[in-house]
Structure 1
Amino acid sequence: MCIEVQGGHALHGEICIQGSKNAALPIIAGALLHDGITVLHNCPRILDVMYMVQILREMGCRAEFEGSSLRIDASGTDSYTVPFGCASMMRCSIVLLGSLLGRFKRAVLPYPGGCTIGARPIDLHLDALRKMNASIEEEGEVLNAWTARLTGTKVNLAFPSVGATENAVLAAVLARGETEIINAAREPEIQQLCEFLTAKGARITGTGTGHLKIRGVESLTDSEYELMPDRIVTGTYLLAAAATRGSIVIEKAPVDQLDSFLDILKEAGGRYRLEEPPGKGSHPMLIFEGKDACLPVREVETAVYPGFPTDLQSPLMAVLAKAEGESVIRENVFENRFQSAELLNAMGARISTAGRTARITGVKELYGKTVSAPDLRGGAALVIAGLCARGSTVISNEHFIGRGYEDITGDLRKLGAKIWRTD
């Protein structure tokens, strides 16, 4: 399948944001820790979630969607071996390691797949679990892990890795004693994982900080939990509106998680205001105006949360390609995340890259081309470029985009874009 975009149409209208991809995946893995029922509301039907659901089914779980709610019954799980097919397609399958060791004391799984955006070693994951009394052997492309029982300890992460933090948290929930995670990742998705596990009976303190403490419990309970809106999808649609000089309204926008991104959007000339919802505990409505979003950004540096998210670097590059001046992006998280630059240049952009730095000189026009999505967020960048380009843009490798966006063509059509899927 391909995505075809007819450029030149400003986005206008109101949109709701799907549930968070990066919260859903570790939380689904966390459902394996309990031999009972978990219901997740606002769960996105994206490819990565469907891969994870299929993995659980092949391991004996019952997992079914009803609307946007996912019901998981893990009582019938009868295997600690993760099937190769789906696991090899997605990076997040590695978080099953902590859950399986916690519940079954055994785990066999293939090395994870995902987007080719640079080295993402799993050494931090394995080191953390080994400190918790797990034995892990790497046999070719397979990880074989076992333990008499996981034991709480002090885990000091050399880098605040999101995945390693998730694996350590999941492993610690049913471990003996207390686990202390120092230099833990602070991403909102980590906070959601901790809140979800706490709702199931886990004992976790320090949620939202870089210092987590987990006191192991004997078992967890049935629970329901609602996933937050996806902050990266929110940012993507705001950038699409900025690129087309449009104006959109986002219901329940997770603005408290996007401070650094919104600062850059304002520097580029975008304007927004918030309207608080009538009820407590909900996200505000964000009203965005992008008619003046044509300014360059002097320098953007990606960083771990709460810094500028690396997942929005490529989509931002597409917007800056038509800014009135020169912008600089420094990629500090992944070393191979400028793959979309060459494709944007094929559409008329002027982007040069050297190491981890990209320099973007704005041009008056981009031109529609046939291009191939290099990865998930690079694909989103090409969609944004197509929206503001002259003529028609055809994007192949659409499946990459479907890994993180539930219905990007449908959402953008609601906002007035001329975009559709083609064979």
Structure 2
Amino acid sequence: MERGHQDDFDRQDRIEVRANGPLEGAVAIGGAKNSVLKLMAACLLTEGTFVIRNVPDIHDVAVMADVLRAMGVSVSRVGDALTIERPEAIIPEAPYALTEQLRASTAVLGPLLAGIGHARVALPGGDDFGPRPIDMHIAGLEAIGCRFEISGGDVHAAADNLVGNSVLLEYPSVGATENVMMAAVRAKGTTVIDNAAREPEIADLAGFLNHMGGHVIGAGTSTITVDGVEELRPVEYTVVSDRIEAATFMAALGVATGEITLVGARLDHMAILCRKLGEMGVRTSSDPDGVWAMCSGRLRSADVSTLPYPGLPTDCKPLLVAMLSVAEGVGIVTENLFSGRFRYVDELVRMGADIRTEGHHAVIRGVDRLSGAPVRASDIRAGAALVVAGLAADGITVVSDPHHIDRGYEDFAGKLSALGADVCHERPGD
């Protein structure tokens, strides 16, 4: 490598990982990224001052805050609490410069249509693991009286009168379920969403809307009923804990061994995941502070298939692939939700993993140890999985582009280090 290129690499933002273990102690699990972004969007439904607590200090929250600020909404943070002040008059537009960074920015469509009656939202970006079109969002909102036109990369939407209706989703899309819920809460009459997403974050949003004075029942089941109301009010609310962050630390425990407590985590939100982890050798149980987990030996292989909640979440798949890379035996992983979400596998193979992919399937033959190597994060969970893999690799694993990890994890390296892992996030200028 030429000296100039080496200097550029030395100045890169990166995470360095060395194998270490066992992990011990307690780690605080923050509020769910996939919930708080939607709660922030829901604040557009009515004017006033909201306070949302247990908010992780992560990049995606900062971007969503900027989306709201671009509309004229005030957003400030003190500790883990966001204060969001929505004035009477706002600009119902989300510019591409922001939406390209955050796929969840589409969540502003429903509340803008319900609260203002029109919206212009640039088509979003986000993680790079295949297309996730918003067709179902549009179809669901059209069913209750919204009109759409897509031109110039923007979604132009209007709603003169929202009227409750039956909405059947072709697939239990989380985003479509949330957008329809947020719009239907201000519609005239009753909206019934069938084949709705069942994730805990859906139930959290329903709780937020109900605290505002909405009437949403059935969240967490495949049928959600929303009775429209004429008025909503601003509220204070605490975000549910992040089950994917909890899963990440359990994955780290699996490859490094040890015993940890996941403070604030909820076992009932991870039942099938914990059952699968149990097959692999990670013991879990409820604890007064959250969830207790222990792993005392080498992991065992298992077969894994991603499915909509309550099935194994696709966000956990990269973590499970990293675990299976050093497990005893052969495991088969099937991705049923998104295409292109095996792009991190090449990075694990660089570390010595024995993985073969074909279409939606990956066959992983566990090896005794991985080897440290320079690797690159391609999205939030892939980046976290590479850090986890580094805990079972000889030598030094250097993960570049860790800004992806910062999108979804608050002080990931610091939390792992506090449990005894040898992980360091080096930033330019540190």
Contact 2:59 2:408 in 1 (8 A): yes
2:351 pairs, out of 347, 353, 361, with 347
> Residue 315 of structure 2: which of 305, 311, 319 is its match?
311
The answer to whether 1:214 aligns with 2:216 is no
Is 2:28 aligned against 1:30?
no
8 Å CA contact 1:187, 1:306 repeated in 2: yes
**Residues 345, 355 of structure 2: 8 Å contact kept:** yes
The offset of 1:293, in angstroms, is 4.4
Residue aligned with 2:35, SS: helix
1:302 aligns to 2:314 (yes or no): no
Cα distance in structure 2, aligned partners of 1:205 and 1:285:
26
Separation (CA, whole Å) in 2 of partners of 1:77 and 1:92: 23
Equivalent in 57, 68, 75 of residue 80 of structure 2: 68
Superposition deviation, residue 106 in structure 1: 0.7
Partner letter of residue 286 of structure 1? V
Instruction: Confirm or deny that 1:180 pairs with 2:180.
Output: no
Larger CA deviation: 150-159 vs 189-198: 150-159
Q: Deviations over 1:102-158 (max 9, x none)?
A: 111110010011011122111100111111111110003111111212221111101
CA distance in 1, matches of 2:25, 2:89: 45
Equivalence for 1:53: 65
In the TM superposition, 1:221-236 aligns within 5 A as 221-236=233-248
- Say how many residue pairs are matched: 415
Q: Distance in 2 between matches of 1:273 and 1:176?
A: 45
Secondary structure at the aligned position of 1:339 is classed as: coil
CA offsets, 1:312-354, max 9 Å, x none? Answer: 0001110110111101111111111111111101000000001
User: C-alpha separation between the residues in 1 aligned to 2:236 and 2:42?
Assistant: 13
| CA–CA distance in structure 2, aligned partners of residues 232 and 56 of structure 1 | 25
Please report the TM-score for the alignment, with normalisation by the length of structure 2.
0.94
Does the CA-based 8 Å contact 1:32-1:99 persist in structure 2?
A: yes
Say whether the 8 Å CA contact 2:266–2:291 is kept in structure 1: no
Give, in angstroms, the shift of residue 76 of structure 1. 5.0
2:100 — aligned with what? 88
Aligned runs of 1:322-401 on 2, under 5 Å?
322-401=326-405
Question: Is the Cα contact below 8 Å between 1:260 and 1:306 reproduced in 2?
Answer: yes
The question of 1:419 aligning with 2:423 is answered yes
Letter in 2 for 1:31: C
Paired-residue identity, %: 40
Match of residue 117 from structure 1: 129
SS in 2 for 1:378: helix
Uncovered stretches (5+) of structure 2, i.e. residues with no partner: 1-12
Contact 1:270 1:292 in 2 (8 A): no
The CA distance in 2 between the partners of 1:256 and 1:88, in whole Å, is 34
Hey, what does 2:290 align to over in structure 1?
A: 285
Is 1:151 matched up with 2:155? Answer: no
Question: How far apart are 1:396 and its partner, in Å?
Answer: 1.0
Aligned 1:232-247 pairs, distance under 5 A: 232-247=244-259
Q: Distance in 2 between matches of 1:40 and 1:186?
A: 22
Deviations 1:157-200 (A, max 9, x none): 01110000001001111112211111110100000000100000
Deviation, structure 1 residue 77:
4.6
User: 1:289, 1:51 → 2: CA distance?
Assistant: 36
Inter-partner Cα distance in structure 2 for 1:120 and 1:59? 25
Contact between 2:212 and 2:232, CA under 8 Å: does it hold in 1? Answer: yes
CA RMSD of aligned residues (A): 1.1
Give 1:12 deviation, angstroms. Answer: 1.4
Q: Match of 1:250, SS? A: strand
TM (norm. structure 1) is 0.96
